[in-house]
């Protein structure tokens, strides 16, 4: 897998729903597993090949790996620390230091497929710090997904999320003005029917009308 493709692929992987993928189009899950094998750069005789092959029959195992990748990238997006413990020791990434002193990794050794995935992912983050710093968390509260920003100040993963946030802010800041306009339209409508000498009372809220029944 080419270097410029690695981190975008990792971000895509972190958002995969393995169970849904297994139930989707017949080639989707095998294609993902093929890309995983390419990314790990496994030789044909490596023992981990058997674990990778088994993932096609075990989407839950694949999802556990995906969840760990999401946790790692989430730490990068939030500029926090990530730690993975396994039989060979520990590995720690201090994402808050990416781009300055670099991430700090302690001793690690491959023990199983999940360990290998995290080790290679960490190596990729170290090797392309500039791209790693573009990993962000969407600021739309209903999303909060991880994405690879195209611009330095990009806050949302898609235009849809940006529009949802903008609409919510607009409704909050313009709600009173909209209510006032509705009251004014109601007042004019009543005056057209009754004449200018009739006092127009404010319409009662629906829930208040319901309480009086």
Q: What does the alpha-carbon distance between residue 154 and residue 74 come to, in Å, rounded to a whole number?
A: 16
What per-residue confidence (pLDDT) applies to 43?
A: 83
pLDDT score for 106:
37
More confidently predicted of 72 and 171: 72
DSSP H helices, the chain, are 3-14, 18-23, 28-40, 48-54, 59-77, 113-127, 129-132, 159-194, 206-211
pLDDT tens for 54-74 read 998 999 999 999 999 999 999
As a whole-number percent, the residues of the chain with pLDDT over 90 amount to: 44
Same domain, 18 and 100: yes
Q: Answer yes or no: is pLDDT of 133 > 60.
A: yes
Token pair of 126, please?
A: 């170290």
- Whether residues 170 and 200 share a domain: the answer is yes
Residue with tokens 């209510």: 179
- Whether residues 103 and 27 share a domain: the answer is yes
Tell me, yes or no, whether 78 and 131 share the same domain.
yes
Query: Mean pLDDT in the chain?
Result: 82
Region 88-107: mean pLDDT is: 65
**Average pLDDT estimate for 95-120:** 66
Q: Is the pTM of this model over 0.95?
A: no
pLDDT of residue 34: 93
DSSP states of 48-68 as a string? HHHHHHHGGG-HHHHHHHHHH
Domain of 177, in residue numbers: 162-211
H helix or E strand, kind and range, residue 85: strand 81-86
Residue 125 sits in the same domain as residue 52: yes
Residues 84 and 69 in one domain: yes
Instruction: For residues 91 and 121, state if they share a domain.
Output: yes
Q: Are residues 111 and 205 in the same domain?
A: no
Q: Judge if 137 and 182 occupy the same domain.
A: no
Domain match, 34 and 87 both: yes
Q: Which residues, at least 6 apart from 3, have a Cβ–Cβ distance to it below 8 Å?
A: 127, 128
pLDDT at 161: 96
Specify whether 100 is located in the same domain as 153: yes
Same domain, 54 and 100: yes
Alpha-carbon distance of 65 to 114, in angstroms, equals 6
Mean pLDDT of 36-50: 88
Domain boundary among 122, 138, 157: 157
Query: For the chain, how many structural domains are there in total?
Result: 2
């Amino acid at each position: 897998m080419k270097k410029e493709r690695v981190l975008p692929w990792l971000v895509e992987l972190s958002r995969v729903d393995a169970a849904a993928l297994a139930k989707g189009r017949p080639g989707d899950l095998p294609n993902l597993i093929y890309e995983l094998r390419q990314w790990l750069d496994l030789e044909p005789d490596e023992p981990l090949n058997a674990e990778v092959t088994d993932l096609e029959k075990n989407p839950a195992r694949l999802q556990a790996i995906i969840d760990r990748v999401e946790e790692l990238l989430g730490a990068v997006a939030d500029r926090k620390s990530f730690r993975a413990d396994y039989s060979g020791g520990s590995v720690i990434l201090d994402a808050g230091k990416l781009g300055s002193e670099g991430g700090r990794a302690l001793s690690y050794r491959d023990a199983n497929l999940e360990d290998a995935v995290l080790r290679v992912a960490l190596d990729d983050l170290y090797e392309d710090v500039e791209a790693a710093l573009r990993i962000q968390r969407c600021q739309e509260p209903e999303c909060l997904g991880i994405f690879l920003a195209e611009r330095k100040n990009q806050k949302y993963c898609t235009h849809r999320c940006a529009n949802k946030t903008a609409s919510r802010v607009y409704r909050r800041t313009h709600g009173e003005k909209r209510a006032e306009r509705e009251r004014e339209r109601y007042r004019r409508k009543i005056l057209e029917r009754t004449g200018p000498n009739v006092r127009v009372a404010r319409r009662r809220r629906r829930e208040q009308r319901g309480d009086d029944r």
